[in-house]
Amino acid sequence: MMASYEDEPMETSPRELTQNPLRKIWMPYKNGLPEKHIPQRKVCMTNCPTLIVMVGLPARGKTYISKKLTRYLNWIGVPTKEFNVGQYRRECLKIYKNFEFFRPDNEEGLTIRRQCALTALNDVREYLGVEGGQVAVFDATNTTRERRNTIMKFAEQNEYKVFFVESVCEDPNIIAENIVQVKLGSPDYIDCNTEEAIEDFMKRIKCYENSYQSLDEVLDRALSYIKIMDVGRRYLVNRVQDHIQSRIVYYLMNIHITPRSIYLCRHGESDLNMKGRIGGDSGLSSRGKEFAQCLNHFIQEQNIKDLKVWTSQMKRTIQTAEALSMPYEQWKALNEIDAGVCEDMTYEEIQDHYPQEFALRDQDKYRYRYPKGESYEDLVQRLEPVIMELERQENVLVVCHQAVMRCLLAYFLDKSADELPYLKCPLHSVLKLTPVAYGCKVESIFLNVEAVNTHRDKPENVNISRLAKEALFTVPAHQ
Amino acid sequence: MNSGEGCSEEIPLPSSPRELTQNPLKKIWIPCKNGLPEKHIFQRKVCMTNCPTLIVTVGLPARGKTYISKKLTRYLNWIGVPTKEFNVGQYRRECVKIYKSFEFFSPDNEEGLKIRKQCASAALNDVRQYLTDEGGQVAVFDATNTTRERRDTITRFAEQNGFKVFFVESVCEDPAVINENIVQVKLGSPDYTHCNTDEAVEDFMKRIKCYENSYQTLDEVLDRDLSYIKIIDVGRRYLVNRVQDHIQSRIVYYLMNIHITPRSIYLCRHGESDMNVKGRIGGDSGLSLRGKDFARRLGQFIQKQDISDLKVWTSQMKRTIQTAEGLNVPYEQWKALNEIDAGVCEEMMYEEIQDHHPLEFALRDQDKYRYRYPKGESYEDLVQRLEPVIMELERQENVLVICHQAVMRCLLAYFLDKSAEELPYLKCPLHTVLKLTPVAYGCKVESIFLNVDAVNTHRDRPENVEVSRMAEEALYTVPAHQ
């Protein structure tokens, strides 16, 4: 062994590494205890919290964007919360009379609205400071430079980065559709009929128009923002500061509001399913093949325009898609969660060979990584490009797997990391997701072909010290 | 076992679904008929556009059009989209052997105009050939294209051929940036081989002036139906109009993440590991003594380099983290940087792979880039997995990436524009740091061996890659190990 080329004094020896048993992450430790070193890198994060500030006249999609963006960021692991000032106003005012509240010469209205904005900002500070939030979305019109300056001063004092998202749109059709979809059902208009509501809302918009100062190329050149024009036909992006802002811009540039439906289902029942085994790459059972035929029938009946079909690269999803007699695309990213050393095992065998792993998984099913395998958390990262492309697309059928489908469903239905691994995604059922208002309508269609149940609930006892039967109590029946 | 109730309506028995067979190289399931794979849907590499795309650069000279063209071409090829750039200036140089002066570009130089128009047409012809006959998917048409008239000609050409068009305009009025541009890439141009610096700069400035009067930038109103991105002041500001499809969306995202701030990227592997010493692949072992020595040297090397704001990235495997621990600086762990998954061959020696999976071993030698280990990955899979790492590397400045052999080959291939054929055979020995510094249109590479011996883990492609070969022929190029 060669000597060092320079004489160096003895340095402190590098720290020993220990592998966290749940997530299988190697971390340095001292005196037998893991050191609080670098946090697991989930997404390349910004160092300081980010305040996203919406800008735009009423009915320009600000709340739609706020909610969608919040849902996306939470799903990829960035703790995010939206703060809708209209909500604060409703809590303050209790009863909404009419548009006159928003008149620029209504002193009392102005005072209340200002107060609500400040209260919301206070809650933002609490969320980003004490509650561990990373991104806050401040959803209000913020149409004057004065209001935006106030917000920026607030952000500066608290050391938040600010990123503005402005939505500009003058297409009367879009505005009308917006009002129909989300305003008519608003608590503000509960006691009005449709015509009254629309008329009042149009006057409300008018109240803002005169004082509206759009983000300006020159005056606002030092700000970081994206200006979305005509629902995504055109974008102006100024001074993206960091990774998270870059991801936000990419996301906002990929979403659209064209009506469409997303169909999610698993492959047909497989031979391994019937034996109660996880993972592997087996083919369909006879019932699974029957399901594939029924799926074909179902899809044809739905008469979907320009349907894209996606599968994983595992035999069982491809076999299922083959029955559709339609072109399909195979995505490796849609492969089932890799169970590592537990691949092809039954739960009973896992309890037998790896009782500790089995218990750890029940303790934190989202973050638990199989030895030499993956976690749900890993899955989400793997699936992010799939979600991005689903956002770009229109009608799509995704034929995938249990854990994968849970992750995708959690994204569309805004389910937390704790709920995600226990979402019910039974075999031979198709979920039809249709975006509506601020969320997603879900229709569940069971295609009437029996299949084993593969859903294992969280057992009561998740301690490593538990008995085998306590661990296996919730295992579904199988051959 | 019940067969269930069946579907709700009587339907005639459909033709039975096709049987599936697994392609032995890529482990992709494809339908087959009479035992032969059917030509069905190709493996989805990147969600592709259906028709070829013509990217058209727009901008005055020295606005970075060629820089962007070459970089974008390199990126698209790396992610698996066959792309080629067509630099009209290059065509002009082939046509007009000797460049005299800026007067060639004078707007009232009839002969000059004629030649330049011809060159553009010749280039477009080659574009058509590339996209139609040669299997190309994206062509980057790199020229000033500063008049609406010229752009209309190109748009018509694309329409006739069924190509989508996406414009990339670069607008910049910062004299410092333009100067630096001229110094970096114009002075060394064949056009200015016989000039000294001042002469070259003066002539080039006059050249730019020739274009300025007729420059019609992409207009918000007049060009509202075109698909384009306008890059203003080297990325301070972007205007994006009518993105049509996935590939354009990816191009926009990429262009919005690149920058020209000088910086260096350091690539190296973990220190020698216990498995390395035994000639085993994969696994999650720790560093050997020599590997630990390397980690210390790496720490010293990094300190000496005195790098401003260095970020350090590792994989989530023990050996890279152990190496980073030797640096005494914060580091980030990326699962995406994990070594290629060798599936059933994990922790085997090449001799054992030959013994247990001789067919697999031969297939791998036949097409090392596309070959996927059973229950494992291919280099092609690796590239897809590493794309977010590359994207973040583009955003960052000084970074040290401590990774693995196959991973490092993929990253290196991106920076040095290596083909899929070359990639899996790039030399990335242990205990050697590669310092990559962007310069002009490419990357300067410095290789620094940190003077700690290690086993060689590089296995060259053997001569005989046939499935029928003998064991010794397969093992001929295996490097020595314990």
Q: Which domains does chain A have, with CATH numbers?
A: 50-253 (3.40.50.300), 262-472 (3.40.50.1240)
Alpha carbon B337 to chain centroid, angstroms: 16
Interface of A with B in 377-406 (CB under 8 A): 378, 381, 389, 392
A88, A96, A100: which is closest to A140 by C-alpha? A88
Dig out the tokens for B225 from the structure. 């139906």
Q: Which residue of B has its CA nearest to A323?
A: B17
pLDDT on residue B6: 43
Of residues A4, A328, A448, nearest to B5 (C-beta): A448
**B317 reaches A (C-beta below 8 A):** yes
SS (H, E, C) chain A: CCCCCCCCCCCCCCCEEEECCCCCCEEEEECCEECCCCCCCCCCCCCCCEEEEEECCCCCCHHHHHHHHHHHHHHCCCCEEEEEHHHHHHHHHCCCCCHHHHCCCCHHHHHHHHHHHHHHHHHHHHHHHCCCCCEEEEECCCCCHHHHHHHHHHHHHHCCEEEEEEEECCCHHHHHHHHHHHHCCCHHHCCCCHHHHHHHHHHHHHHHHCCCCCCCCCCCCCCCEEEEECCCCEEEEECCCCHHHHHHHHHHCCCCCCCCCEEEEECCCEHHHHCCECCCCCCECHHHHHHHHHHHHHHHHHCCCCCEEEECCCHHHHHHHHCCCCCCEECHHHCCCCCHHHCCCEHHHHHHHCHHHHHHHHHCCCCCCCCCCCCHHHHHHHHHHHHHHHHHCCCEEEEECHHHHHHHHHHHHCCCCCCHHHCCCCCCEEEEEEEECCEEEEEEEECCCCCCCCCCCCCCCCCCCCCHHHHHCCCCCCC
pLDDT tens by residue, chain A, 479 residues: 333 334 444 445 678 889 888 888 898 887 767 775 444 444 445 579 999 999 999 999 999 999 999 999 999 999 999 999 999 999 988 888 899 999 999 999 999 999 999 999 999 999 999 999 999 999 999 999 999 999 999 999 999 999 999 999 999 999 999 998 888 888 999 888 999 999 999 999 999 999 999 999 999 999 999 999 999 999 999 999 999 999 999 999 999 999 999 999 999 999 999 999 999 999 999 999 999 999 999 999 999 999 999 999 999 999 999 999 899 999 999 999 999 999 999 999 999 999 999 999 999 999 999 999 999 999 999 999 999 999 999 999 999 999 999 999 999 999 999 999 999 999 999 999 999 989 999 999 999 999 999 999 999 999 999 999 999 999 999 99
pLDDT on residue B49: 57
**Shortest Cα–Cα distance, A4 to chain B (Å):** 8
Of residues B11, B241, B325, nearest to A15 (C-beta): B325
Of residues A2, A41, A253, nearest to B240 (C-beta): A253
Chain length of chain B? 482
pLDDT tens by residue, chain B, 482 residues: 333 344 444 444 445 668 889 888 888 898 887 766 675 444 444 445 579 999 999 999 999 999 999 999 999 999 999 999 999 999 999 999 888 899 999 999 999 999 999 999 999 999 999 999 999 999 999 999 999 999 999 999 999 999 999 999 999 999 999 999 998 888 889 999 888 999 999 999 999 999 999 999 999 999 999 999 999 999 999 999 999 999 999 999 999 999 999 999 999 999 999 999 999 999 999 999 999 999 999 999 999 999 999 999 999 999 999 999 999 899 999 999 999 999 999 999 999 999 999 999 999 999 999 999 999 999 999 999 999 999 999 999 999 999 999 999 999 999 999 999 999 999 999 999 999 999 989 999 999 999 999 999 999 999 999 999 999 999 999 999 99
**A41 reaches B (C-beta below 8 A):** yes
pLDDT on residue A32: 66
**A123 reaches B (C-beta below 8 A):** no
Cα–Cα dist B282/A373, whole Å = 14
Of residues A11, A235, A449, nearest to B4 (C-beta): A449
Per-residue burial over B148-174, b = 16 or more CB atoms within 10 Å of its CB, e = otherwise: bebbebbbebbeeeebbbbbbbbbbee
pLDDT on residue B39: 59
Cα–Cα dist B437/B266, whole Å = 9
Q: Which residue has the tokens 């195979």?
A: A330
What's the pLDDT tens digit per position in B413-442? 999 999 999 999 999 999 999 999 999 899
Cα–Cα dist B199/A69, whole Å = 54
What single-letter DSSP state applies at residue B189? S
Whether residue A26 and residue B241 make contact (CB cut-off 8 A), yes or no, is: no
Cα–Cα dist B68/B71, whole Å = 5
**Shortest Cα–Cα distance, A82 to chain B (Å):** 25
Q: Which residue of A has its CA nearest to B331?
A: A38
Contact between residue B319 and residue B273 where contact means Cβ atoms under 8 Å apart: yes
B-chain CB neighbours of A24 within 8 Å are: 316
Of residues A41, A233, A294, nearest to B334 (C-beta): A41
Q: Which of A237, A275, A336, A388 to mutate to test the interface with B (most CBs of B within 10 A)?
A: A237
Of residues A38, A330, A450, nearest to B44 (C-beta): A330
Using alpha carbons only, what angle is made at residue A314 by residues A311 and A315, rounded to the nearest 5 degrees?
A: 100
Angle between helices B379-395 and A243-252 (to 10 degrees): 110
Of residues A40, A239, A329, nearest to B333 (C-beta): A40
**Shortest Cα–Cα distance, A110 to chain B (Å):** 35
**B3 reaches A (C-beta below 8 A):** yes
Work out how many CB contacts closer than 8 A connect A with B: 168
Question: What are the backbone angles phi and psi of residue B4, rounded to the nearest 5°?
Answer: 80, 180
Q: Which one-letter amino acid corresponds to residue A399?
A: V
Residue A108 class from Cβ within 10 Å (0-12 exposed, 13-18 middle, 19+ buried)? exposed
Q: Which residue of A has its CA nearest to B235?
A: A239
Using alpha carbons only, what angle is made at residue A228 by residues A227 and A232, rounded to the nearest 5 degrees?
A: 155
pLDDT on residue A16: 85
| Active site annotation includes A199 | no
Residue B171: strand pairing partners: B232
Dig out the tokens for B425 from the structure. 């055979």
Cα–Cα dist B130/B155, whole Å = 17
Whether residue B6 and residue A290 make contact (CB cut-off 8 A), yes or no, is: yes
Q: Which residue of B has its CA nearest to A37?
A: B330
Per-residue burial over A293-327, b = 16 or more CB atoms within 10 Å of its CB, e = otherwise: bbbbbbbeebebeebbbbbbbbbbbbbbbbbbeee
Q: Which of A8, A30, A41, A377 to mutate to test the interface with B (most CBs of B within 10 A)?
A: A41
**A8 reaches B (C-beta below 8 A):** yes
**B244 reaches A (C-beta below 8 A):** no
What single-letter DSSP state applies at residue B25? T
**Shortest Cα–Cα distance, B154 to chain A (Å):** 22
**A246 reaches B (C-beta below 8 A):** yes
Whether residue A38 and residue B333 make contact (CB cut-off 8 A), yes or no, is: yes
Residue A178 class from Cβ within 10 Å (0-12 exposed, 13-18 middle, 19+ buried)? buried
A-chain CB neighbours of B237 within 8 Å are: 221, 236-239
**Shortest Cα–Cα distance, B64 to chain A (Å):** 19
pLDDT on residue B31: 87
**B100 reaches A (C-beta below 8 A):** no
B107 C-beta neighbours (distance < 10 Å), count: 13
Dig out the tokens for A305 from the structure. 């325009």
**Shortest Cα–Cα distance, B279 to chain A (Å):** 19
A-chain CB neighbours of B328 within 8 Å are: 12, 14
| Active site annotation includes B194 | no
pLDDT on residue A392: 97
**B293 reaches A (C-beta below 8 A):** yes
Cα–Cα dist B101/B192, whole Å = 9
Q: Pick left, alpha or beta for residue B89 (phi over 0 → left; psi -120 to 50 → alpha; otherwise beta).
A: alpha
Angle between helices B246-255 and A376-392 (to 10 degrees): 110
**Shortest Cα–Cα distance, B262 to chain A (Å):** 17
pLDDT on residue B117: 94
Whether residue A448 and residue B4 make contact (CB cut-off 8 A), yes or no, is: yes
Give residues with Cβ within 8 angstroms of B42, minimum separation 6: none
